[in-house]
Amino acid sequence: MYINDTKHPFYHSNQIIYIVKHVEVFKAPSRFNGTLPQYIYTPFESAACGLDLLSKGHEYLLSGHFSSHNIATTSLCGQILSDLTPTSGIIQEWNEVDDLQKVALQHNGYEPCHKGKIQIDNTNKTSIIPTTSATTATTPVSTTQQIQQTPTEKVIKN
């Protein structure tokens, strides 16, 4: 897509514009009232952290932010990756996102201000345990113990 509006903030920049359908949103500014823009902007080249490798018809787990002009942007830097499951690249296709990572997403486990950690007990019940430790705020899913995963649908019903 070509930007042909001289007043557009990205008019003079090389940007890829993806037209997307948001399937599931885990966090969005309240000013959008649950409706996000269908356009996502990213730098044109991967050397500038642009996502120039997304394919039409695929579902991805993407993170990004909104500019001061309410423009959705994303880049290679700052994408969410699982600590538990190796992925084939920097961007995860939705079918590669494991169940524990989905639980973390649904419970704001990747929030910088999150003050808890996600725990799964012997009954496969997921809970968030409050803590004051700053280290768990950015790594709520890390663990050295083997975790028994539960399908997301089961966790949500509990």
pLDDT in tens, 34-72: 788 888 888 888 888 888 888 899 999 999 988 877 888
Q: Which CATH number is 1-97 given?
A: 2.40.50
pLDDT tens per residue, range 102-144: 888 888 877 764 444 555 555 555 444 443 333 323 333 333 3
26 — pLDDT class (breaks 50, 70, 90): confident
The percent of residues in the chain predicted with pLDDT above 90, rounded, is 8
Higher pLDDT, 40 or 7: 40
The two most distant CA atoms of the chain are separated, in Å, by 59
Instruction: Determine the pLDDT at residue 130.
Output: 43
Is 155 strand, coil or helix?
helix
- The encoded tokens of residue 60 equal 């991805």
Domain borders along the chain are 1-97, 98-157
Q: Look at the pTM and tell me if it is higher than 0.85.
A: no
Give 126's strand partners: 120
Which strand (E) or helix (H) includes residue 127?
A: strand 126-130
100 — pLDDT class (breaks 50, 70, 90): confident
Q: CA 125, CA 157: separation in Å to the nearest integer?
A: 10
Q: CA 94, CA 72: separation in Å to the nearest integer?
A: 19
Instruction: Determine the pLDDT at residue 88.
Output: 60
> Amino acid identity, residue 29?
P
Q: CA 84, CA 92: separation in Å to the nearest integer?
A: 13
